[in-house]
Amino acid sequence: MGLSTFAFQKCISGACGATYGLEQAYVACPKCGDLVDIDYEWDRLPIPDKLSDFSKFWTQRNNRTRFSGVWRFHELMPFASQDLLVTVGEGQTLLQQADSVADYVGIDQGNLFLQYEGMNPSGSFKDNGMCAAFTHANAIGAKRAACASTGNTSASLAMYCAVTRLMKGIIFIGSGKISYGKLSQALDYGALTIQILGDFDDAMNRVKEVSKKLGIYLVNSVNAFRLEGQKSIIFRILEALNWELPDWIVVPGGNLGNSSAFGKAFIELKKLGLIDRIPRIAVINAGGARTLYELYEENGLRWNQGQPDQLIEKSYFDQMDQDNAKASTLASAIEINRPVNLHKCLRALDAANGIVRQVSDQNALDAKAKIAAGGMGCEPASATSVAGAKLLKAQGVIGSSDRVVCVLTGHQLKDPNITVAYHSTDRQEFEKVLGGYGVQRASFANHAIGVPNDLDDIIKAIKLYS
Ligand code: F0G
Instruction: List, for residues 54-105, the tens digit of each pLDDT value.
Output: 998 888 889 999 999 999 999 999 999 999 999 999 999 999 999 999 999 9
What is the average pLDDT across 420-439?
Answer: 93
Instruction: For residue 191, report the distance from its CA to the centre of ligand 1, in Å.
Output: 19
**Strand 217-218 to strand 144-149: parallel, antiparallel, or no bridges (unpaired)?**
parallel
Give all domains of the chain, ordered by start, each with its CATH number: 94-120+227-417 (3.40.50.1100)
CA 248 to centroid of chain Cα atoms: 16
Instruction: Determine whether 401 is exposed, middle or buried from the number of CB atoms within 10 Å of its CB (0-12, 13-18, 19+).
Output: exposed
pLDDT value at residue 201 = 86
Beta bridge partners of 252: 284
Among 366, 363, 360, 359, which residue's Cα sits nearest to residue 423? 366
pLDDT value at residue 175 = 84
Q: Is 94 helix (H, G, I), strand (E, B) or coil?
A: strand
Instruction: For residue 433, report the distance from its CA to the centre of ligand 1, in Å.
Output: 21
**Pocket around ligand 1 at a 6 A CB cut-off:** 124, 149-153, 221, 252-258, 333-334, 379, 381-382, 409-410
CA 460, CA 293: separation in Å to the nearest integer?
Answer: 51
Q: What does the pLDDT look like over 6-55, one tens digit per residue?
A: 999 999 999 999 999 999 999 999 999 999 999 999 999 999 999 999 99
Beta bridge partners of 31: none
pLDDT higher at 214 or 1: 214
**Stated pTM of the model:** 0.97
Atom of ligand 1 nearest to the CA of 378: 3
Q: Is the pLDDT at 177 greater than 80, yes or no? A: no
Pocket test for ligand 1, best of 124, 207, 226 (most atoms within 8 A of CB): 124
Instruction: For residue 221, report the distance from its CA to the centre of ligand 1, in Å.
Output: 9
CA 278, CA 128: separation in Å to the nearest integer?
Answer: 22
pLDDT value at residue 344 = 98
Reported residue count of the chain is 466
Sign of the Cα pseudo-torsion (90, 242, 399, 269, in order): positive
What is the average pLDDT across 352-366?
Answer: 98
pLDDT confidence of 291, banded at 50, 70, 90?
very high
* 233-243 exposure pattern, b = at least 16 Cβ within 10 A, e = fewer: bbbbbbbbeeb
CA 77, CA 351: separation in Å to the nearest integer?
Answer: 19
Residue of the CA atom closest to atom 15 of ligand 1: 333
Atom of ligand 1 nearest to the CA of 151: 20
Q: Which DSSP helix (H) or strand (E) runs through 286? A: strand 280-286
Instruction: For residue 152, report the distance from its CA to the centre of ligand 1, in Å.
Output: 7
pLDDT value at residue 90 = 98
What is the average pLDDT across 143-150?
Answer: 95
DSSP-derived letter for residue 154 is H
Q: Is the pLDDT at 349 greater than 80, yes or no? A: yes
pLDDT higher at 127 or 199: 127
Q: Is the pLDDT at 1 greater than 80, yes or no? A: no
Spatial CB neighbours of 132, under 8 Å, sequence gap ≥ 6: 70, 77, 225, 226, 228, 229, 230
CA 338, CA 336: separation in Å to the nearest integer?
Answer: 6
Average pLDDT over the chain, rounded to an integer: 96
Pocket test for ligand 1, best of 285, 332, 334 (most atoms within 8 A of CB): 334
What is the average pLDDT across 379-391?
Answer: 98
Q: Is the pLDDT at 258 greater than 90, yes or no? A: yes
How many angstroms separate the Cα of 115 from the Cα of each of 37, 74, 147, 250, 362? 25, 20, 25, 10, 22
Q: 61-65, 130-134, 172-176, 431-435: lowest mean pLDDT where? A: 172-176
Beta bridge partners of 124: 410
Sign of the Cα pseudo-torsion (315, 316, 319, 320, in order): negative
Tell me if 218 sits within 8 A of 167, measured CB to CB: no
Atom of ligand 1 nearest to the CA of 379: 3
Instruction: For residue 255, report the distance from its CA to the centre of ligand 1, in Å.
Output: 6
Beta bridge partners of 94: 116
Q: 58-72, 242-256, 310-324, 408-422: lowest mean pLDDT where? A: 58-72
Q: What does the pLDDT look like over 324-333, one tens digit per residue?
A: 999 999 999 9
pLDDT confidence of 143, banded at 50, 70, 90?
very high
Pocket test for ligand 1, best of 125, 171, 173, 255 (most atoms within 8 A of CB): 255
Instruction: For residue 157, report the distance from its CA to the centre of ligand 1, in Å.
Output: 13
Q: What does the pLDDT look like over 303-315, one tens digit per residue?
A: 999 999 999 999 9
Sign of the Cα pseudo-torsion (373, 377, 380, 385, in order): negative
Beta bridge partners of 95: 115
Atom of ligand 1 nearest to the CA of 149: 19
What's the N-to-C CA distance of the chain in angstroms?
62
Instruction: For residue 138, report the distance from its CA to the centre of ligand 1, in Å.
Output: 24
What is the average pLDDT across 352-373?
Answer: 98
Pocket test for ligand 1, best of 125, 152, 258 (most atoms within 8 A of CB): 152
> In percent, how much of the chain has pLDDT > 70?
100
pLDDT confidence of 111, banded at 50, 70, 90?
very high
Pocket test for ligand 1, best of 119, 127, 150 (most atoms within 8 A of CB): 150
pLDDT value at residue 178 = 84
